[in-house]
Amino acid sequence: MTDDNIIRAQFNPLIKPFLVLKIGWVMIMTVVGIPLAVIWFLGVGRWWAQHYFDRLECQLGEKSLRYRKGILVTTEKTIPLENIQDVTFVEGPILRRFDLSTLKFETAGHSAGQASDMHLTGIIDAQAFRAKIMTAREALRHTPRGQGADAQAELELLRSIDAKLGDLVDLLRNKKP
């Protein structure tokens, strides 16, 4: 795959104050975390959010969607487009306040309650990016078999299977009852 075929999503810088407030709010709600929340709001949160934002990456390729995030612990997730069942666009009042939205991906082989599905928050023009994902998925589903890079290998495998089946048929015909 060439770089021309990769679409890179751009993230809204407003995700940084959103994350600072979201994590700070969780700290305050735990009561025990109130002293940490003070430190968080005095600058640690902004530092962390900037580094987190700098490492956010999302790429839509010909056959997969790749997402990468994290500072100390980096998470990278790749979802084959053929496994994407649905992409949900979520935009609540708090996200709208920060001009953000979330894309949630429902994939084949995962139940609705599993947390392993991917959530992308903060993509600029998320509706358009969602449309590009769905278009790429449909294009992949409608690509005729035998036109990929592995077409020759698939053809050779099918010929080998055909030959072995022919040998089995000959053995069964020659078998005496």
Structural domain that includes position 170: 146-177
Q: How does pLDDT run across 27-84, given as a tens digit for each residue?
A: 999 988 899 999 999 999 999 999 999 999 999 998 899 999 988 899 899 999 988 8
Asked if residue 124 and residue 153 are part of one domain, the reply reads no
Asked if residue 173 and residue 91 are part of one domain, the reply reads no
Asked if residue 84 and residue 24 are part of one domain, the reply reads yes
C-beta of residue 67 within 8 angstroms of C-beta of residue 55: no
Asked if residue 88 and residue 63 are part of one domain, the reply reads yes
Our count of domains for the chain comes to: 2
Asked if residue 110 and residue 51 are part of one domain, the reply reads yes
Q: What is the bridge-based pairing of β-strands 57-60 and 64-69?
A: antiparallel
Q: How does pLDDT run across 119-141, given as a tens digit for each residue?
A: 889 999 999 999 999 999 888 88
Asked if residue 71 and residue 153 are part of one domain, the reply reads no
Asked if residue 111 and residue 37 are part of one domain, the reply reads yes
